[in-house]
Amino acid sequence: MKPLVNLEGKIGLITGIANEKSISTGVAEACAEAGAKLIVTYQNEKTRAFIEPVIARLGITDAYLLDVTRPETLADVFDRIDATHGKLDFAIHSMAFAKRDDLHGRVVDTSADGFAMAMDISTHSFVRLAKMVEPLFEKTGGGSLVTMTYLGSEKVIANYGVMGLCKAALEAATRYMAYELGAKNIRVNAVSPGPLMTRAASGIAGFDGLMAAAVERSPMHSLVTPEDIGALTAFLVSDAGRLVTGGVHFVDAGYNIMA
């Protein structure tokens, strides 16, 4: 199949691949099909085993350990990228975490420690990633950063709890960093997919109901797939999206417009 966008000659970092069904897997596949050379990360050796099929299928040679709760691993990833490639064209942030009690409980009951952990991993890790990619993007003459968000940032989603606050902050960070980095030809965007079953989504109570509602109420009566998300993300990091920055871009069959 002919790719919708051209990423020939571009080098991209993709985080957050957990298994074959991950959003990041769809993004990696779309970017690889468009011609990009990919660098991927894994959280620990146990999780690496789950992404080996993706690495093998896409012919990825650079897979690095990245645990955002351990700053030294982030620094090591970018030291390796700089030493091996000397530049970077795009980076995908797809990481989020909240303790189960904070995710399913009331926001007013969120513990200070739980709130700090969720915000650090889900939101501030994107800021830290942007800080690290900035000098590598400058060597390229610009670049594109994309993060993954969700409608729970602006609408109340049952059992989404503190993650809704994290995603709202993530979208605000997207706008502010787009403003701050735009003069360096660095674009920052967020993609907001409709509900789809991933390992992360499986931890949200009642998620099957969310997917059923998306099919019933969306104008196109369809669920999004990782491939759909990958297609939009590949466009955003390509030269075709060269003047697109600071936005939250929905790929949800129109579900977000419904009252």
Catalytic positions, please? 150, 160
Collapsed DSSP state (helix, strand, coil) of residue 144: strand
H or E, element range at 177: helix 161-181
Number of Cβ within 10 Å of residue 254's Cβ equals 16
Whether 93 contacts 144, CB under 8 Å: no
* Rounded-to-integer distance, Cα 39 and Cα 58, Å: 11
214-219 contact pairs (CB < 8 A, 24+): 214/252, 214/253, 214/255, 217/255, 217/258, 218/194, 218/252, 218/253, 218/254, 218/255, 218/258, 219/253, 219/254, 219/255, 219/257, 219/258
* Rounded-to-integer distance, Cα 181 and Cα 16, Å: 23
